[in-house]
Amino acid sequence: MNTAPPLTVRELIRRIEQRFNDAGLYFGHGTDNALDEAAWLVGSALQLAPHELDAHLEDRPTPAQQNAIRALVEKRINTRQPLAYLLKEAWFAGLKFYVDERVIVPRSLTAEFIVEQFHPWIDPARIHRILDLCTGSGCMAIACAYAFPEARVEAADISEAALAVARINVENHGQQGRVQLLHSDLFSGLAGARYDLIVTNPPYVARAEMQTLPPEYRHEPALALASGAQGLDAVTRILAAAPSHLNPGGILVAEVGNSAASLQEKFPSAPFTWLTTATGDESVLLLTAEQLRQHHAAFAPTR
Ligand SMILES: C[S@@+](CC[C@H](N)C(=O)[O-])C[C@H]1O[C@@H](n2cnc3c(N)ncnc32)[C@H](O)[C@@H]1O
């Protein structure tokens, strides 16, 4: 007869961390290491928010809870699905979002700049209308609605499937009156609309890089990742059209990931400001409406 007490939450997390490391999983969809991913899995299975977990490390989950946790661990390893899809949840800017395979897992580095209200780049008092272009799950639009409580937010995506997920999140956060969802191919459905702040995390993965992505990425919509040979197709179109959608004094903030160097190379004279995250990453660019207008000729489509 096995008389050993059930494992504590702390022990479970350590064992799962070891299993995840042994299985060679990729971490980059909400966490960046096995320990954090194990803690997220266990916390979520026990219905604890990340900030609540520390107070429960010596709890001993029931056999039923341990079985549920074990099943999630096996599924994560065997399917290589990002944990967010297995849990149907993701955390972004301190907020919880519903996610499934219709949208990428929220992880934009823009989160920390939204929470800081883009200080010192713009005075929050002058932000009345915001656009989140390529909204996916709606995470950036909803985070903006919290960060700028006086502003009106629009959130556009070309994917109706993604917009259906965004709708769930807008409702879960009670933001129906503040966040409007729009079906649009970049700016094409937004004729005449002008904003004080445009945020965007468009697709930006280069064709060759698409082939080398770890298996976890294959569960995400390719439409959300791939953007032409250099990964610059979407952002190039955005730079060309943004000037006519920004009010004077407005700003464009766009994440371009690993394509930052190619973008700078493509537009050598463009005065991109690369925002620095807490961890030193510089793949989110900022341009003012005035800079975009001054460099309009450089960004205009070539034939
Ligand atoms: C990298 S995901 C970003 C999603 C979300 N903003 C986030 O940060 O988690 C890019 C999104 O752009 C959308 N998209 C791709 N091409 C588009 C286009 N031409 N016009 C509008 N949205 C587009 C995709 O459907 C996807 O939801």
Does the pLDDT value for residue 260 go beyond 60?
A: yes
- Cβ neighbours of 143 (radius 10 Å): 25
Average the pLDDT over 59-76 and give the result.
Answer: 97
Whose C-alpha lies nearest to ligand 1, atom 14?
134
Report the separation in Å between the CA atom of 154 and the middle of ligand 1, taken as the mean of its atom positions. 14
Residue 236 inside a domain? The answer is yes
Q: How many domains does the chain have?
A: 2
Report the separation in Å between the CA atom of 77 and the middle of ligand 1, taken as the mean of its atom positions. 27
Q: What is the DSSP string of 49-60?
A: -GGGGGGGTT--
Claim to verify: residue 112 and residue 222 sit in the same structural domain: yes
Per-residue pLDDT tens over the stretch 76-120? 999 999 999 999 999 999 999 999 999 999 999 999 999 999 999
Domain residue limits at 69: 9-87
Does the pLDDT value for residue 249 go beyond 80?
A: yes
- Check residue 122 and report its DSSP letter: S
| Residues present in the chain in total | 303
CATH number at residue 173: 3.40.50.150
Q: For residue 204, count CB atoms less than 10 angstroms from its CB and return exposed for 0-12, middle for 13-18, buried for 19 or more.
A: buried
Residue 93 inside a domain? The answer is no
pLDDT score recorded for residue 184? 98
**Quick one: which atom of ligand 1 is closest to the CA of 159?**
25
Residue type at position 156? A
Residue 287 inside a domain? The answer is yes
Claim to verify: residue 134 and residue 202 sit in the same structural domain: yes
CATH number at residue 28: 1.10.8
Q: How far apart are CA 25 and CA 20, in angstroms?
A: 6
Residue type at position 136? G
Claim to verify: residue 116 and residue 83 sit in the same structural domain: no
Report the separation in Å between the CA atom of 179 and the middle of ligand 1, taken as the mean of its atom positions. 17
- Check residue 293 and report its DSSP letter: H
Q: How far apart are CA 159 and CA 266, in angstroms?
A: 28
Domain finish residue from 87, 121, 139: 87
Residue 49 inside a domain? The answer is yes
Residue 2 inside a domain? The answer is no
Residue 3 inside a domain? The answer is no
Residue 126 inside a domain? The answer is yes
Report the separation in Å between the CA atom of 113 and the middle of ligand 1, taken as the mean of its atom positions. 19
Residue 4 inside a domain? The answer is no
Q: Which residues line ligand 1 (CB under 6 A)?
A: 103-104, 106, 108, 134-137, 139-140, 156-159, 162, 185-186, 201-203, 223-224, 234
Nearest Cα to Cα of residue 40 among 63, 12, 21, 62: 12
- Cβ neighbours of 81 (radius 10 Å): 18
Average the pLDDT over 288-301 and give the result.
Answer: 94
Per-residue pLDDT tens over the stretch 142-188? 999 999 999 999 999 999 999 999 999 999 999 999 999 999 999 99
- Check residue 44 and report its DSSP letter: H
